[in-house]
A and B are shown apart, each in its own frame.
Chain A
Amino acid sequence: MMHSASRTTTLAVPRAMRRPRDRALHVPLVAVVLLASIAVAAPWLAPVPPNQIPSDGLITASSPTMAHPFGTDPLGRDVLSRVLYGARVSLGVGTLSVALAVGFGGVIGAVAGFMGGVVDTVLMRLVDVLLAIPRLLLLLVVTALWESLPLSGLIVLLGLTGWYDVARLVRADVRALCGRDFVAAARAAGASPARVLWRHLVPHLQPTLLVLGTLGLANAIVLEASLSFLGLGVQPPQASWGSILGDGYVPGGRRWWLTLFPGIAVVSSVLTCNALADALRRRFDGRQVGV
């Protein structure tokens, strides 16, 4: 980011002088665990099956009551159950796609950084081109063209569009870490450079990957919600927070419960991820650096 030659400025200001940073990490971590637990425990927490359309009664959206604490959606399905099950989808899709993105991007970045030369140039130019295509637009096009994309397809799609930043940063780190001297030194010590690279690189990259992964998760959740909102993400009758929002969206509608509850679910997850990323960054850098 910024060129900084401020060695002479921050004199004798001990690191310990600033506020303890560990505390800031606890809150988001607890929230993450909480959200994950809710997602996992959905079948036990949900009062009724999420796709159950009432056989009696009106097939219409109704405001919250004791029987339906979050109200019902236009097909009469219980919104609370759908939000709970939706957590599994939204969080699951997000997490898996990020894992894919980080893994894929990490490998590409490491290969490019390690091998250098033509391979590096080709890979990085490829990243430049892929970065030029706006992500949502691309996702929109693909999900709309390939109708009824299974959930796994959605995960792969999100993953394959989210690895660029990871690749770039990993490549930079790898390049910084190992020049030609490194390879020579490793060989002189009798070890295979790839092996030493692996042993030293991964712990070194951990902070970067963690922060990128957390931020990527936040993005993925929002993207999935956006796509599902447009009807292009998860397929009905599967519930995802975005699709609940989309199902309930009627221009001019006054059904606040269909906007509020799934929305809060999304916002709290994304907020948790962002807060976690902030705390992680502070922990690893000692000071907040950019977004």
Chain B
Amino acid sequence: MTQPLLTVHDLRVTFETETGPARAVDSVSFTLHAGETLALVGESGCGKTLTALSVLQLLPDGGHLAPTSRITLRDQELTELAPGTLRGIRGREVAMIFQEPMAALNPVLRIGDQLAEVVRAHTEASRDEAWQRAVHMLERVGVPDAPLRARQYPHELSGGLCQRAMIAMALLLDPALVIADEPTTALDVTVQAQVLDVLRAQRERTGLALLLITHDLGVVAELASRVIVMYAGQVVEEAPVALLYDSPTHPYTAGLLAAVPTLDVERERLPDIPGTVPAATAWPAGCRFRDRCAHAWERCAIDAPALTQVAPAHRVRCHLVDEPERRRA
């Protein structure tokens, strides 16, 4: 087993609110190896985006990382890096792709300039060289008429093209890890497929590791080899993708999968998971999913389940692991 590329251990992110601290990410741990694609799945507010932002220390104002949290890239401890060193890693070894490409790009600068900027910030390249590299990369990700597009502004490009530009920007310096935060959510369905193709192609080409944040299980199926399901700031299930889709263990995972519409099954109503996520300032005692779970019993209200290994690559946080007979039909 080779050394993992990224190790996240006991990640806790807290926000200070008037009603007390909100533990938005509550002890999340995972590893990612080179070349792997790991998907972080969950509904809005489960903490997956904050987890992703924590890697590059990009938490919004007011968010704190707990001192015990560890984020290790190869053998560098990212939480303890000097700001200068951290900046050297951002954009170069680890790059990020954001959700709304048009908003994530500076609207008053040309696309080409924004890409070239990354090159010039991290290398000794001249202005021309950086520009050439930018245009070249745009071509690689399939932007037609790249030299022209590079001279345009974000609002002149469609959403799909903008996202391709963002991907190009992330890949310019050949990072080992790309963190994609909901890369296709803001796009049309047809465009989504194209963008996923681009990601896949680049992954083939460079062998990069991909940390994919999404709530869309379809995207997960397309790209990921492993999945982590998050709920209420915690990891509730972790498994290889095929296993997860075939036999989800955690009731929440099962619920998510059941809520995905498919063409081959006739249904009148899509099943949804009743209830809502509890507030991050007041996580309930016991299992946090208890109120929405069809299988919950008394133990679930008192005892918070721990993340247990049920198979070599499969972990679940649920009492049903101990007491499978409690599972209702």
Q: Which residues of A contact B (CB under 8 A)?
A: 3, 5-14, 16-17, 20
Q: Is the CB of B62 within 8 A of A13?
A: yes
**Interface stretch (choices B10-18, B77-85, B193-201, B258-266):** B10-18
Please, how many angstroms separate the alpha-carbon atoms of A5 and B106 in the complex? 11
Q: Which of B94-102, B290-298, B303-311 lies at the interface with chain A? A: B94-102
A12 in contact with B103 (CB, 8 Å):
no
Docked Cα-Cα span, A13 to B61, in Å, equals: 8
| Distance from A7 Cβ to chain B, minimum over Cβ atoms (Å) | 7
Given contacts A3-B107, A17-B15, contact A12 B100 (CB under 8 A): no
Alpha-carbon distance between A11 and B48 when the two chains are bound, in angstroms: 11
Residues of A within 8 A of B50 (CB): 11-12
Task: Identify which of residues 22-52 in chain B touch chain A, using a CB-to-CB cut-off of 8 Å.
Answer: 22, 24, 45, 49-50
Considering the complex, which residues of chain B in the window 157-204 have a beta carbon less than 8 Å from any beta carbon of chain A? 181
Listed by A's residue number, 22 A-B pairs whose Cβ atoms lie within 8 Å are: A5-B103, A7-B100, A8-B103, A8-B104, A8-B181, A9-B60, A10-B60, A11-B60, A12-B15, A12-B22, A12-B24, A12-B280, A13-B60, A13-B62, A13-B63, A14-B15, A14-B17, A14-B18, A16-B17, A16-B18, A17-B17, A20-B18
B2 at the A/B interface (Cβ < 8 Å)?
Answer: no
Residue of A nearest to B44 (CB): A11
Whether, in the assembled complex, B276 has its beta carbon less than 8 Å from a beta carbon of chain A, the answer is: no
Query: How many residues of chain B get a CB closer than 8 Å to chain A's CBs?
Result: 23
- Cβ of A62 to closest chain B Cβ, rounded Å: 57
Residues from chain B with a CB closer than 8 A to the CB of A6 are 103
A42–chain B nearest beta-carbon distance, Å:
43
A14 to chain B, nearest CB (A): 4
Contact residues in A for B107 (Cβ distance below 8 Å): 3
A193 to B99, CA, bound (A): 40
B19 within 8 A of A: yes
Q: Which residues on the B side are within 8 Å of A16 (C-beta)?
A: 17-19
Nearest to A6 among chain B residues (CB) is B103
Q: Select which of B62, B102, B104 is within 8 A of A17 by beta carbon.
A: B62
Contact B15 A13 (CB under 8 A): yes
Contact with A along B52-63 (1 / 0, CB 8 A): 000000001111
Contacts of A5 in B (CB 8 A): 100, 102-103
A13 partner residues in chain B, CB cutoff 8 A: 15, 60-63
Kindly provide the distance from the CB of B64 to the nearest chain A CB, expressed in whole angstroms.
12
A17: chain B residues at CB < 8 Å are: 15-18, 62
- Taking the nearest CB of chain B, how far is it from the CB of A246, in angstroms? 48
Residue of A nearest to B181 (CB): A8
On chain A, the residues within 8 Å of B60 by CB distance are 9-13
Chain A neighbourhood of B15, CB < 8 A = 12-14, 17
Which of B16, B18, B49, B99 is packed against the most chain A CB atoms within 10 Å?
B18
A186 to B114 CA separation, bound complex (whole angstroms)? 49
Within 8 Å CB of A8, what residues of B?
A: 49, 98-100, 103-104, 181
Nearest chain B CB to A279 CB, angstrom units:
19
A18 to chain B, nearest CB (A): 9
